[in-house]
């Protein structure tokens, strides 16, 4: 618990959770260069702009000729007469700042930041500290009529102000965790296509087979360190939800950031769309996935193999791939195939098993409970990938730490059909 306290304290210094700091703009030149590089690709620092290059403020530049779409989208439409380059660059800079959830702080931008970033007049004049925003937002969340409405409220907050979202979650983790993940995420997934936004993470569909690396290159950030990926076939206890299962990778990575301290800039939720075998899902007019039966056999394996290799090529061998909510027939064999070829793990098999075994070992300390794990039998209600994973880890503990024979250890675990 001490380490968790230490971690949380250090996390409060991270700019992405909205730590109030008057020094955040002390190096505005480098900070803005990184910001512009993140959202507009590689920017260059020049004292003289070549023809066709537009200043974006803080000396960052972007090639207009190579980015004509940017001009058509972000250039002012009203007739101001002849606009100076400083007016145009300020317009591009400050509107993008406020529309970018990762950098927006709303009214928590202080006077110095507003001046440097040309935000004066674009926000109400009163400076509202982040903690006051958290209190206000928490009250609004609590006023929502249902838990699902609270989920939608927090998702909307996430898409406009990440810093405020993570400060709210970190300061109220016990209250917020069941909303942003289980159990509410299950209900949210069943209504994902018709209710919730789809612009977080990536959807890689089977029709991109042969071009997965090219697809991953569309993600604007090359410094991805953690990927949570699902194919949507076994979402919680709800079965095959297809691309509606995207809520699971998103929710899991929010926990990585809100509890584990992982910068959300380094995370990427992915859903692999290889079809869906649930008629009710595919018949929904708002379903956003491919309308086809789920791919099986060699085609599926080739697709997964191409995905793993593409991730390694795009983000590096050190990028962690967490397999999440894959069906039993695929979960264990994919883990066995890639655990020594990629930086990966299966949360349902390994993560759940680690927590379950830790709980068992802790329970052995309770008074009137037999203190030795080898004196107990374990009954599993169902034999899914999570149950099998837990049993395997219990058996491994009995063999390696208690000296049991493998067959004897296996007889300690029993499974009942669901």
Q: Which residue numbers are catalytic?
A: 181, 252
Q: Which residues pair with 230 in a beta bridge?
A: 271
Mode of pairing for the β-strands spanning 53-55 and 202-205: unpaired
271 touches 282 (CB < 8 A): no
300 touches 274 (CB < 8 A): yes
Cα(335)–Cα(331) distance, integer angstroms: 6
Cα(168)–Cα(134) distance, integer angstroms: 5
Structure-block tokens of residue 179: 């909303």
Cα(406)–Cα(184) distance, integer angstroms: 40
Cα(86)–Cα(59) distance, integer angstroms: 11
φ, ψ of residue 392 in degrees (nearest 5)? -60, -40
């Amino acid at each position: 618990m001490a380490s968790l306290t230490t971690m949380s304290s250090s996390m409060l210094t991270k700019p992405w959770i909205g730590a109030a700091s008057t020094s955040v703009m002390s190096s505005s030149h480098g900070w803005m260069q990184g910001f512009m590089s993140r959202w507009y690709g590689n920017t260059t620092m020049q004292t003289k702009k070549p023809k066709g290059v537009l200043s974006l403020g803080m000396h960052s530049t972007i090639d207009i000729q190579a980015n004509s779409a940017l001009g058509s989208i972000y250039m002012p439409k009203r007739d101001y007469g002849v606009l100076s380059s400083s007016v145009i660059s300020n317009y591009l800079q400050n509107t993008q700042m406020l529309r970018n959830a990762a950098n927006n702080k709303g009214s928590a931008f202080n006077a110095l930041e507003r001046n440097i970033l040309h935000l004066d007049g674009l926000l109400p004049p009163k400076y509202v500290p982040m903690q006051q925003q958290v209190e206000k937002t928490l009250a609004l969340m609590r006023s929502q009529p249902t838990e699902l409405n609270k989920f939608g409220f927090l998702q909307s907050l996430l898409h406009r102000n990440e810093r405020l979202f993570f400060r709210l979650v970190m300061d109220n983790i016990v209250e917020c965790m069941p909303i942003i993940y289980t159990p509410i995420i299950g209900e949210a997934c069943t209504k994902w296509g018709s209710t919730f936004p789809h612009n977080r993470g990536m959807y890689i569909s089977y029709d991109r087979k042969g071009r997965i690396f090219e697809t991953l290159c569309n993600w604007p950030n090359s410094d991805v360190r953690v990927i949570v990926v699902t194919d949507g076939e076994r979402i919680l206890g709800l079965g095959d939800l297809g691309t509606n299962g995207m809520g699971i990778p998103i929710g899991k990575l929010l926990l990585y950031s809100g509890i584990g301290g992982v910068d959300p800039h380094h995370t990427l939720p992915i859903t692999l769309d290889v079809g869906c075998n649930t008629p009710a899902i595919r018949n929904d007019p708002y379903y956003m996935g491919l309308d086809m039966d789920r791919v099986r056999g060699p085609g599926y394996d080739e697709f997964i193999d191409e995905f793993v290799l593409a991730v390694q090529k795009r983000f590096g061998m050190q990028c962690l791939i967490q397999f999440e909510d894959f069906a039993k027939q695929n979960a264990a064999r994919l883990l066995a195939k890639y655990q020594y070829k990629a930086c990966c793990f299966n949360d349902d098999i390994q993560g759940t098993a680690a927590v379950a075994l830790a709980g068992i070992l802790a329970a052995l300390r309770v008074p009137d409970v037999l203190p030795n794990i080898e004196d107990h039998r374990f009954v599993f209600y169902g034999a899914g990938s999570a149950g099998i994973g837990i049993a395997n880890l219990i058996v491994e503990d009995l063999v390696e730490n208690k000296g049991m024979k493998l067959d004897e250890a296996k007889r300690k675990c029993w499974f009942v059909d669901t």
